[in-house]
Amino acid sequence: MAAETRFDGVRVRYDSTKSYDDLVTALLADIGEQPVPIGEIGAAGGDWQSYQARVEKYVGPSGFMLFALLDHGAWIAKAGIARRVLRVILGNPLIAITMLRHDVTAGLFAPVELLILDEGAGSSLTYVKPSSLMLVEPNPELLSAAEALDAKLAALAVKVTE
């Protein structure tokens, strides 16, 4: 039998006067243009310190790296929706461990995701605040770490949308 736990997520949206292409370019300039081979990095031998050293090479100025890009705009056009939409999966295992050490189920929401939309006369960047997803029961240590991630993600969003 499955157990269900309900919780509320908080969606955050940043509107930008930048074009869709300029917003994507600004984001990728910070987090990297190519997805990090995180699986290969994790599969390599060594201890935590050697893992950290391998990961740190990919960390961008705002503390994140690119894991994947999903171009929703490419496939929704086939269903008659003419909209540019890019889902970006980004994160940093060195940040994620600050949460997973307090509750490994926080890994359901690490790495984080955001959506970039072409709004015609500009663009937008939307994500769900990580702390609103990771905490389903009281856990002060996890809350503190997740709120630090919230702040880093918000700072990145402000940086790339302005």
Q: What is the percent of the chain where pLDDT is above 90?
A: 92
Q: What is the percent of the chain where pLDDT is above 70?
A: 100
- Choose between 42 and 14: higher pLDDT: 14
Domains in the chain, please, with CATH?
Answer: 11-161 (3.30.310.70)
* pLDDT at 67 exceeding the cut of 90: yes
pLDDT at 58: 96
Closest among 26, 118, 35, 122 to 77, alpha carbons compared: 118
Give per-residue pLDDT as tens, 113-161: 999 999 999 999 999 999 999 988 899 999 999 999 999 999 999 999 9
Rounded-to-integer distance, Cα 136 and Cα 131, Å = 10
* pLDDT at 7 exceeding the cut of 90: no
61, 90 Cβ separation under 8 angstroms: no
> What is the value of pTM for the model shown?
0.94
